[in-house]
Structures are given as structure tokens and as C-alpha cells.
Amino acid sequence: MYLTGAEILVKSLLDEGVDTIFGYPGGAVLNIYDELYKYKDKIRHILMAHEQGAAHAADGYARATGKVGVCLATSGPGATNLVTGIATAYMDSIPMVAITGNVPRNLLGKDSFQEVDITGITMPITKYNYIVKDIKDLQKIIREAFYIAKEGRPGPVLIDIPKDITAEKAEYKPLIPKKVERKVKNLTEKDLEKVAKLINEAKNPFIYAGGGVVASGAYDELIELVNKINSPIATSLMAISAFPQEHPLYTGMIGMHGSKASNILASKCDLLICLGARFNDRVISNQKHIKNAKVVHIDVDPAEINKNIKADAFIIGDLKSVLQRLISLLKEKKDEEWLEKVEELKSLNVIKDTDTGELTPEFLFKKLDEFDDGNFIITTEVGQHQMWAAKYYKFRKPRSFISSGGLGTMGYGLGAAIGAQVALKDRRVINIAGDGSFGMNCNELVTAVKNNLPIIVIIFNNNSLGMVRQWQSLFYEERYSYTTLNRATDFVKLAEAFGGRGYRVFRKEDLKDVLTQALENKGPVVIDYVVDNDRKVFPMVAPGAAIDEIISEENINN
């Protein structure tokens, strides 16, 4: 059958199993939106307040489900407003397809109204991108884009479609989506045996697990590996919910704001086993900081092998598939002396109960946890509150922690919360925010209210850009240059102005009642949680310092 480009696009999206699009209409995508109107019973379109919110929502949808998130924007400023969200997804390896409109082909390259070279702009922050020059290629491009977004190391793909392409006609035939095979074609027995030999010989192994565990769904295999070799395990920020936190060998997050146990063990182990993670500068990126440990690195992306840390042995391939084959080659082991050291260091992670009567991050997450039966999904903005959530909350299920890691995008959390809540209607999504981050994209409250999404936003209100202020306090002799906000914004009234509910918490004794009311509410809620602006995230490793050179609250106070 012969269909317009807009019809081919929508039918191809249905072929790929797309049920939700996050977007914002405009002139260059009018034909596409006209077609979406006809198919509104099959594809739900969520009208966002801003295109950046659409990209973050598609990202949150993908992180919550493992499926490809889809966002749609018009040409020019609509397309460029997606860029931060696309970069966020790229840095964290999130499968997304971003669709943009553009001016007709005869106007390309002429500085036409609302024309930008969005494929040129996004080339460094996409796995691949396309500008459709021939309608005959449109269906094939859409099919390829979804395959590329999911295959290997996931990531965002952009499709730019000139407006005249959406009006032209071409033949369309329904196509089955191209099947994504787990990437193990380069996996050899020799590689497996080399890695297995190093693990079997190690007395003091330590596992550093990253976002690849989530992307590959290697949760059961990771637990089996830990139990078989009795290795302590730490996770990166991107893998916070990928391993049971109550497991006796779990030592917490690793890195700049990681736990003392994780950071010290990484420097004392004789074998560091890196699984689905990259050695970035917020964790370990300097070979000398690993001391005398050998390194095993397993990752699906060959570009990450030996990029920052030289590996003594490595395997390139899908983590779940690799672990399934590797575990059978490993001997069961248990070094009591090493495990005693692990327990000794884990005692350093215990949160001291110093009740001064003030509202604290620890208190908030302790109370929130009392309401969680495993149903909560926690999204975050970026800053101190993000680290507090990662450190203090007890995550019970995979994909229950959604946060911007590699790019550190302030303003990310609310859009991501909308995407996650739309995707998983039976879960309860709670966005942890700082007053600085929340101010960036609080306009998306209008989207949550319009769609009656029961998202709870908890704002750590410390009247400052808390993480930047912390750096100024520690490294800039307390010169607080433009990090004190002093804004007159009333977050309770703001929530009500958008049509939601708002609460303010000043006292500990009020929190339980406020959380109870918020969770009973069927629509969006904002909770203004007032904390002291001098409260810091500890422990901390200074930029460029060795991972075991830990700054603690005791160091500062003494």
C-alpha cells in the first residue's frame, strides 16, 4: 500500500511496539501530529511543557521498562531543546529514538525559518543519526534506528525528517522489528579461561558493578557470581538498584561519594573485577589508585576496554551472556581473612544516630522506606539530594533508581519521573529534588497534573546550590559565589498554582503524616522539606585524589 511519510512513520512505530510518545508539536511536524491524532487509541502522546522534558521523559520511560523511549519535536528550537536530554541518555547508555521535523528539502541549508542542522549538532551525542532525504528510505531508517538504540551498548538515535517527506507517498509493507541478539560474537574460550584463571587465583577479589548490569538484565548472574566466589561488591551510581542491598557482601556505592568500605576495599583488593562499568573520573580513572590489584574488565563496548585503566584480562560482550558462561569455569572460594576485613570496613558505613532534632536526609529516607513495600521508583535531580538518595535509600528491585549519572543533568528528575510513571502505572514514582534543580524544569508539573500522575516530588530545600556550595566550602575557603539562592518561591503555592497539592515540613514529627497524605493523593504532590544549607555529603573523595583518600565529616570538624 502507498502511504504518506507521516503514515509510514506512525505505522512503523506501531510495528516497533511503541505505545507512548513524549513530545511537543510545531509547524515542521504537523503532518506527523495529524496522523498521531488518528491513532490516539494505539499510541498515547504525552504533551510536555518543554521539549527537554520530552527527552527526559522518554529517557525515564526507557530506564523504568528497558524498552526504547520515544520523543518528538519540531524543527529549529524544538530540536535543539532535545539536545540536553539526548546527551543525558547518551552518557548513561539509554535506548531512545528522538524524532525531529525539519524544513522541506528545497529549503535545507538556506538558513530557513526554524532550520538547524540537528544531525550535525547531535552527532557526538548519539549512537547514530539520520536525516531522511528520500521517502523510500523512511521505513528502513525507522527500523534501523530502533535496532541501533537497543543493540550492544544501548543509546539514543535521532531521525530528522524534512516536512515534505511527511507529505510524500511511498510503498509501505509491515515489517517485523529486527531482532536484537546478545552481543557475544567476539567471545572466545581463551578469553573466558584467562579471566577465570585470574579470579580463581585471587585471594582478595572485589567486584565493581556498573550500569551494564541493568542494561543486560544480569541481576541473577551477578548474585550467583558473588555467592560463588564470596567477593564483596560495590555498585556505581548507575547500578544502585541492580544488586540486593541487604546482601551481606554488598558494601555500598563506590566513587567520589561512595561508602568508606567500598573505596578502601577497591584499594586493598588483589583483583578488581569491573562488570558493565567504565572507569570514569568519579569512580577510578587512574591506574596508580588501584595499588597492586590486577584488573578484569567485562563490557559490551570495546571502546571502554583499556581506555582509562589497563586490564590484565578482558571480555567484550553482553554481560548476562558472558557471566552465564564464565561462572561455570569458576571455583567456589571463601577467604575468611578477607571476609573479616570486609565486615570490619562495612562497620564504617553505619550511619550514626545523632538526633539533634533537625530535619536530615537520613531521617527522610528512613521514613520513606517505612512506606515502601517494593513498589516505589525513585528518580532524582542532580546534586547533594541525589547522593543522599543513592546512599541512604534501600532499593528493593532492579530499575527502581533512575538518575542522571554521566552528564549530571540538573532538571532531569521530574521529566524522568513522568516517563516512569506513565510507563508503570501500578508503581509509585517519587522524585527527589534540590531547590536549585527543581527550579530548572518545575514547569513539567503542568504535565503531571494534566495527566493526573501521582508523582511525589520531595524538595530538599536548603536555599542553595548545595553540591557547588559544598565544593566552595571545602576547596574555595567558603567563598559562596552565587550559590545562595535567596529566592522568594513558595513551593507549596507553586504546586497549588499548577493544580497539584503542596506540603511543607519543618519538624520531624510532621513528616509521617505528610507522607501518608501524599501517598493517599491520586495526583501530583510537592513536599518542601527544609534542611540546613551547611549539611554536606560525606564521605567524599577530592577530584583527582586516590579513591581511598577519603574526606569525612570527622576530618572537617577536627
What per-residue confidence (pLDDT) applies to 500?
98
- Our answer to whether residue 114 is catalytic in this structure is yes
User: Do residues 230 and 213 lie in contact, with contact meaning Cβ atoms separated by under 8 Å?
Assistant: no
Quick check: helix, strand or coil at residue 234?
strand
Of the candidates 115, 108, 105, 141, the residue with the CA atom closest to the CA atom of residue 12: 141
pLDDT at site 558: 53
* Chain-centroid distance, C-alpha 164: 36
Instruction: Spell out a b/e string for 370-405, using b for 16 or more CB atoms within 10 Å of the CB, else e.
Output: eebeeebbbbbbbbbbbbbbbbbbebbebbbbbbbb
Phi-psi region of 48 (alpha: psi -120 to 50; beta: other; left: phi over 0): beta
Provide the angle, in degrees to the nearest 10, between the axes of the packed helices 83-91 and 51-65: 30
* Structure-block grid coordinates of residue 206: 572485589
> Measured between alpha carbons, how far is 298 from 209 in angstroms, rounded to an integer?
10
Read off the C-alpha cell for 178. 529486527
**Grid cell at residue 446:** 503542568
* φ, ψ for residue 331, nearest 5 deg: -90, 145
List all residues 6 or more positions away from 217 whose beta carbon is below 8 Å from its beta carbon: 66, 320, 398
Distance of CA 253 to the CA centre of its chain: 15
Q: Do domains 2-171 and 361-555 have the same CATH topology?
A: yes
Q: Which one of the listed residues 1, 113, 287, 512 is annotated catalytic?
A: 113
Reading phi first (left if > 0) and then psi (alpha if -120 to 50, else beta), residue 255 is in: left
The per-residue pLDDT for 354 is 61
Task: Work out whether strand 401-402 and strand 376-380 pair parallel, antiparallel, or are unpaired.
Answer: parallel
Per-residue H/E/C for 312-366: CEEEECCHHHHHHHHHHHCCCCCCHHHHHHHHHHHHHHCCCCCCCCCCCHHHHHH
Spans of the chain below 50 pLDDT: none
The candidate with the shortest Cα–Cα distance to 99, out of 55, 50, 155, 152, is 55
pLDDT of amino acid 435: 97
**Cβ(339)–Cβ(504) below 8 Å:** no
Mark 273-312 as b/e (b = at least 16 C-beta within 10 Å).
bbbbbbbbebbbeeeebbeebbbbbbbbbeebbebebebe
* Secondary structure of 111-160 as H, E, C letters: CCCCCCCHHHHHHHHCCEEEECCCHHHHHHHHHHHHHHHHCCCCCEEEEE
Q: Which listed residue (238, 256, 440, 467) is catalytic?
A: 467
Looking at residue 298, its amino acid is: I
DSSP tag of 464: B
**Under CATH, which number does the domain 361-555 receive?**
3.40.50.970
Distance CA 372, CA 190 (A): 46
- pLDDT (0 to 100) of residue 42: 98
51 is catalytic: yes
In the three-class reduction of DSSP (H, G, I as helix; E, B as strand; rest coil), residue 416 is classed as helix
Return the pLDDT at 292.
83
Pairing outcome for strands 376-380 and 271-275: unpaired
Residue 77 pLDDT: 98
What kind of fold does domain 189-349 have according to CATH?
Answer: Rossmann fold (3.40.50)
Q: Which of the following is catalytic: 7, 51, 168, 221?
A: 51
Distances (CA, A) of 250 to 232, 247, 279, 280, 298: 6, 5, 20, 21, 20
- Alpha carbons within 13 angstroms on the beta-carbon side of residue 327 total 18
The full 3-state SS of 483-508, as one line of letters, equals: CECCCCCCHHHHHHHHCCEEEEECCH
Among 114, 333, 362, 397, the active-site one is 114
Q: Residue 340: its pLDDT value, please?
A: 96
Q: What is the CATH number of domain 2-171?
A: 3.40.50.970
Q: Provide the sign of the torsion angle of the four alpha carbons 311, 312, 316, 317, taken in this order.
A: negative
Going by C-alpha positions, the residue among 321, 68, 69, 62 that lies closest to residue 181 is 321
Q: Are 5 and 161 a contacting pair, CB within 8 Å?
A: yes
- C-alpha of 445 from chain center: 20
The β-bridge partners of 296 are: 273, 313
Work out the end-to-end distance of the chain between its first and last CA atoms, rounded to an integer number of angstroms.
77
**pLDDT tens, 54-68?**
999 999 999 999 999
Q: Which of 11, 163, 346, 536 is catalytic?
A: 163
In the chain, where are the structural domains located? 2-171, 189-349, 361-555
All three cell numbers of 84? 540536553
Strands 128-131 and 456-461 come out as: unpaired
